Structure 1
Amino acid sequence: ELKVGQNPPFLSTQEGKNYTIYCNYSTISDRLYWYRQDPGKSLESLFVLLSSGAVKQEGRLMASLDTKARLSTLHITAAVHDLSATYFCAVDTQCSPDATSLYPNLQLVGPLLLQEL
């Protein structure tokens, strides 16, 4: 059974600081995906990582993959409020190419959202 987990499961950020989200999975995988979802909107694909050592960057987000450790990281540099969203990682398995496991509850929260409550 494929298991995918993320750490931390919930993240409250401060503007301008750096953060890392970890995605680990329990089986050998062909590829790893990162997505984001804004409230009320559909999933948006961020990165597809196809091999160990792969690193991709777009704006303030950078993702990397270590297939030996079965770990992917999503780095957020100098967080800004626009990055507030729910982030997902997903993997494909070698034995069932069409089976994807999606871990749904990692959220990056805007910089002052929790501090003002």
Structure 2
Amino acid sequence: MRKPIFLFVILIISSLLLGACASEEEKMIVSSAEKFAANYILEKYGVTVRFKEYKFSPPDLSNSLGLHGYIEGDKKKKVFVLVNYDPLSVETLSLPEGISKKPNSK
């Protein structure tokens, strides 16, 4: 009777440890993607953004992450960026009306 309980406890502990590792990896991916996207928008469009939400695409479809945020100073001006995190690149970008590329950016 004690053996199944012991195995169950071991299973729960190992699940928690593996979950914590995945969580740290996820945090690193999100942090890198946010920095990359914010720098991309600043360089290409000259505006500073803040991200407040993210959502991973299903891993069997792509290595991408959707970032939702706003233009710094005006939370009503919404921003969406779909970032491929392996390797880092911007797949899709949605900015508020009136924001255009800087003349010297490619």
> What TM-score bracket applies, with the shorter chain setting the length?
under 0.3
- Relative to its length, the structure with more helix (as a share) is 2
TM-score (norm 1): 0.26
- Relative to its length, the structure with more strand (as a share) is 1
Larger radius of gyration: 2
Larger RCO: Structure 1 or Structure 2 (Cα < 8 Å, ≥ 6 residues apart)?
Answer: 1
